[in-house]
């Protein structure tokens, strides 16, 4: 297994095409300057020993050296030993509602962004626990499975939006069913499902599914986003400017309300608790404190435990190529002419 200690350094590789364009620009300037200085016949006599091929070869050496230096500075690491590593923790699935109603702004900046902010904070606090993310509206999908790779989890969380699930609606029950399919049942760990939604369930009996999950040992917490009084759902254009509010077929503004009763029933059936989101409180933090009080069990994972630095090989080859570029002259090399594959074809040209 290969990974990089400083992967962001690899972005500098994108500068290599610009370097190639620079070398081509310099070569064209050389050609134009030579043409302005003397005729082609005169140049062939004055610069009879100059080698154009070597000029390009030296430019190629510089580019290859630059690429190797960048890779070397990123410090490639090679895994040398794969071991079974025992970790202790809890398996947590977050089921996040991504229906359009989660764009309502009764929780700032809006319901969805507040939920993503809290999930991000939770991921940063985790240590040893596995976390996964399910997104749902009319259907449910696993955004990322149970993992202890918290950096990757944050990357997948960042791209979540109301377009993540194409089916409209809020099928809370489907998220519970998806979690039951996605938990690692071979691992004897405590399993927790946290459902973050406005609670406007429009499909299936979510409380009955929560009861089935509880019988399998899954604790279910619910976090209600929004207010019970109802607020409109703003619509924005591509530039982020509000254009209108969501309306029904009759042209009336649609109000989205928190269905606290449904979420309380789901949490009670799942032996968990219900929390109502607010602008000031981090509800997932309170849930995590409950989770930390649970008995944590071991689960096994395979991972590389020994990594060796490999940067020295890339830097060493890069330095050798740079040294070769420095000592290589622009003059034709007589003994190389024997190996010129174009000899006899372009006899009037350089060798």
Q: Does the residue 346 lie in any domain?
A: no
Name which of 52-56, 120-124, 257-261, 334-338 the model is least confident about: 334-338
With 90 as the cut, is the pLDDT of residue 308 above it? no
Residue 204 neighbours by CB distance under 10 Å: 14
| Highest mean pLDDT: which range of 68-82, 208-222, 321-335 | 208-222
pLDDT above 70 coverage of the chain, percent: 81
Q: Does the residue 289 lie in any domain?
A: yes
Q: Check residue 1 and give its pLDDT.
A: 62
The number of angstroms, rounded, from the C-alpha of 224 to the middle of its chain's C-alpha atoms is: 28
In which band, very low, low, confident or very high, does the pLDDT at 168 lie, cut at 50, 70 and 90? confident
Q: Does the residue 138 lie in any domain?
A: yes
Q: 54 and 101 share a domain?
A: no
Q: 164 and 287 share a domain?
A: yes
With 50 as the cut, is the pLDDT of residue 296 above it? yes
Q: 128 and 146 share a domain?
A: yes
Q: 67 and 100 share a domain?
A: no
Q: Does the residue 345 lie in any domain?
A: no
In which band, very low, low, confident or very high, does the pLDDT at 8 lie, cut at 50, 70 and 90? confident
Q: 201 and 292 share a domain?
A: yes
- Strands of the sheet with 274-276, listed across from one edge: 140-147, 130-136, 91-97, 191-197, 218-224, 274-276
Q: 70 and 91 share a domain?
A: no
The DSSP result for 234-257, as a single string, is EEE-TTS-EEEE-B-TTSPBPEE-
With 70 as the cut, is the pLDDT of residue 304 above it? no
Q: 269 and 325 share a domain?
A: no
Q: 25 and 146 share a domain?
A: no
Does pTM surpass 0.85?
no
Q: Does the residue 347 lie in any domain?
A: no
With 90 as the cut, is the pLDDT of residue 332 above it? no
Q: Does the residue 350 lie in any domain?
A: no
Q: 174 and 320 share a domain?
A: no
Residue with tokens 């997104």: 135
For the domain that residue 161 is a member of, what is the CATH number? 3.40.50.410
Nearest residue to 115 (alpha-carbon basis) of 131, 129, 133:
133
- Structural domain harbouring 320: 2-75+310-339
Q: Does the residue 351 lie in any domain?
A: no
Q: Check residue 335 and give its pLDDT.
A: 46
Q: 259 and 173 share a domain?
A: yes
Q: Check residue 295 and give its pLDDT.
A: 59
Q: 164 and 240 share a domain?
A: yes
Residues 9-61 have pLDDT tens digits of 899 999 999 999 998 998 888 777 777 776 666 656 555 555 667 778 888 88
Whole-number Å distance between alpha carbons of 160 and 168? 15
- SS3 state of residue 266: helix
Provide the number of structural domains found in the chain. Answer: 2
With 60 as the cut, is the pLDDT of residue 341 above it? no
Q: 126 and 40 share a domain?
A: no
**Mean residue pLDDT across the chain:** 83
Residue with tokens 């359009």: 100
Q: What residues have CB less than 8 Å from 345, skipping those under 6 apart?
A: none
Q: Does the residue 112 lie in any domain?
A: yes
């Amino acid at each position: 297994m290969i990974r990089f200690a400083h992967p962001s350094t690899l972005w500098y590789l994108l500068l290599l095409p610009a370097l190639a364009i620079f070398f081509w620009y310099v070569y064209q300037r050389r050609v134009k300057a030579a043409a302005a200085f003397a005729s082609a016949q005169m140049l062939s006599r004055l610069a009879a020993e100059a080698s154009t091929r070597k000029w390009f070869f030296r430019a190629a050496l510089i580019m290859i050296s630059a690429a190797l230096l960048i890779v070397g500075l990123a410090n490639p690491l090679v895994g040398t030993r794969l071991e079974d590593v025992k970790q202790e923790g809890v398996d947590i699935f977050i089921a996040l509602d991504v229906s359009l109603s989660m764009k309502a702004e009764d929780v700032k900046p809006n319901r969805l962004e507040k939920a993503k902010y809290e999930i991000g904070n939770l991921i940063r606090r985790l240590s040893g626990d596995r976390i996964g993310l399910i997104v749902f509206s009319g259907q449910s999908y696993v955004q990322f499975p149970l993992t202890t790779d918290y950096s990757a989890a944050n990357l997948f969380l960042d791209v979540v939006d109301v377009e993540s699930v194409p089916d409209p609606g809020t099928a809370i029950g489907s998220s519970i069913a998806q979690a039951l399919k996605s938990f690692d049942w071979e691992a004897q760990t405590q399993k927790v499902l946290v459902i973050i939604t406005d609670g406007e369930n429009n499909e299936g009996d979510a409380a009955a599914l929560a009861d089935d999950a509880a019988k399998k040992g899954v604790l279910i917490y619910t976090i209600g986003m929004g207010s019970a009084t109802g607020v409109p759902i703003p619509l924005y254009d591509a530039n982020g400017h509000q254009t209108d509010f969501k309306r029904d077929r009759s042209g009336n503004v649609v109000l989205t309300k928190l269905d606290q009763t449904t979420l309380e029933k789901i949490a009670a059936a799942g032996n968990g608790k219900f929390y109502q989101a607010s602008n000031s409180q981090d509800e997932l933090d309170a849930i995590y404190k409950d989770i930390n009080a649970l008995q944590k069990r071991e689960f096994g994972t395979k991972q590389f435990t020994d990594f060796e630095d490999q940067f020295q090989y890339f830097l060493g080859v890069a330095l050798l190529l740079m040294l070769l570029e420095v000592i290589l002259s622009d003059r034709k090399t007589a003994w190389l002419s024997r190996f010129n594959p174009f000899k006899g074809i372009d006899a009037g040209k350089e060798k």
